[in-house]
Amino acid sequence: MQLIEKNGDIYSAVAECGFVDLTHLNKHFKSVYEEQHMNIVTIKLSRNFNAELVFILTEERLRMPKYVEIGYPIYEGMPVYPGLPEVKIEPRERLDKGDDWNGSVLSIYLHAGTHVDAPWHHLNNGKGIDAVPIEDFIYRKPLLIDCPLGPNGLITIEKLDEYDDLYEADILIFNTSYWKHRETDFEKYANNFPAVSPEAAEYIRTKLPNCKAVAIDTLSIENLTEAKGNGYFVHHAFLDHEKYKEPTMLIYEDINPAPLVGKKLISAFAAPLRIKNHDASVVNVIVEIEEY
């Protein structure tokens, strides 16, 4: 439009862009976008021009982006894995008590609620949450794996291979449907929950080079009863920098995939607290989805 205003003539503006005429311009745009299921809208560029330009909008342009959160809110007394310290929020200053502001002190176990594990969680010489590159928390190809499972169910390699875009994904978000019990029956949610099988964990680490992270809608990525007998194999499959040559992967646990069900995922990101030389961070995960 700036060229049109500058030249005062649509045809010279088109020529300056390297096209012979409007037909040439239209054919170029059509060849670029016709494989993306475009919608073609004819618009008048200006009352001063008799010519019309075919303006091509892809479906991507017509969809409204929306951002959703898949981390749970933090509050005092929130449900945590049995045996872990309870979350406490202590009021320190309060305006209604004559203080100059409202201020509070949060006491929380770093693996309570939605959180992300760093390698130091299971390896003394692994990276702390402050040392993991911020790029590892940004995802361009998130993939939701729908895998409804009952108590002690395991996510298998066979289930992963059902997804054609598995090898492009940079984060796998597992929807076992166990999140549905979190608010209604936390005892069930906290015990015998589904997890990733050792074989699938190793497969993800060694066979999916684009993957930087995994996330699950249970309290742990791993069956903790089996973990005590196998040296926490699943956690090590993702976090151990010595056992495998492939880069380590982040683990998000206790996420809420409900806002993602039935949606197309576009991107995702998280911003951990940079707690120096420590094992994890409470976190929120933001996912961009398409909404029609």
Instruction: Kindly report, residue by residue over 58-103, the tens digit of the pLDDT.
Output: 555 556 789 999 999 999 999 999 999 999 999 999 999 999 999 9
Q: What is the CATH number of the domain that holds 204?
A: 3.50.30.50
Q: 126 vs 4, which has greater pLDDT?
A: 126
DSSP state of 113: S
Tell me, yes or no, whether 237 lies in a domain. Answer: yes
pTM over 0.85: no
* Residue 87 belongs to some domain of the structure: no
The whole-angstrom separation of Cα 239 and Cα 162 is: 25
**Same domain as 253, residue 182:** yes
Tens-digit pLDDT profile for residues 18-60: 666 656 655 555 555 444 444 444 444 444 444 444 444 455 5
Residues 138 and 282 in one domain: yes
Residues 41 and 143 in one domain: no
Asked if residue 80 belongs to a domain, the reply is no
- Rounded CA gap, 34 and 120, in Å? 49
Q: Which range marks the domain in which residue 56 is found?
A: 2-62
* Any domain includes 103: no
One domain, residues 70 and 54: no
